[in-house]
Each structure stands twice: as C-alpha cells, then as structure tokens.
Amino acid sequence: MSQFLVKILILSLAIYLVGRITKLYKVENFFTAFIVAIILSIVNFVIRPIFIVLTLPITILTLGVFLLFVNGFMLIIVSAIVPKFKVKGCLSSSIASLFISLCTMFIEWLI
C-alpha cells in the first residue's frame, strides 16, 4: 500500500511540475494534481486497456506512436472529471502525457 502511495505522489509531482513548466494544461495546485493522479491511475487501469485493444490496428500501423494519443485521451477524460484540471487540446494532451511519463521516470530514477 505504501508503494502505491509513493507512486501516486511521484505522479502527482510530475503532473504538477509539467503543468507549471509547459503550460500545456492548467492545474490549480498540488492537491488538484494529487486528485488528478489518483483518477488518472484509475482511468489507466480501467479504460486504457479497452482503448488499446480497440485501436490495435492503427497502433500497429503507426508502430506504436498512436499510443501517445491514447494516453492524451486519458488526460482529456480526467480533465472532464476534475473541474480544476483543464487540458488545452488533443495534441497538447498527448505531448503532456509524454512529458509526464518522462518526468515520472526521472523522479523515480532520482529516488
């Protein structure tokens, strides 16, 4: 349970930092980033596998690049749920999901 909480805290820190540095989306404060991290984890656990299976042919044709847009769409779903988290568009959410992944990997590497 504590490892899950650490991963959520790392993800929320990455969401907060990427939102403040890049302006690809708007996040109010760290608590909102924490809520976004929890909901994003749930959405990635429940909805993302369905989208991956449904978009498998186009993912194979693009050699996996389309998964960036699937991840971006997960951010759009979360922004529809959390009122203080706003994503600017599809392309910016895809780029933001890439930056969030890179920032999360860097923070985990530091720890």
Q: Strand 85-87 vs strand 25-27: parallel, antiparallel, or unpaired?
A: antiparallel
Tokens representing residue 109 in the block: 């590497």
Question: What is the per-residue pLDDT across 82-94, written as a single tens digit (0 to 9) for each?
Answer: 999 999 889 999 9
Whole-number pLDDT of residue 9: 95
Question: What is the per-residue pLDDT across 37-47, written as a single tens digit (0 to 9) for each?
Answer: 999 999 999 99
Domain ranges across the chain:
2-106
- List, for the chain, all residue ranges whose pLDDT scores fall below the cut of 70: 1
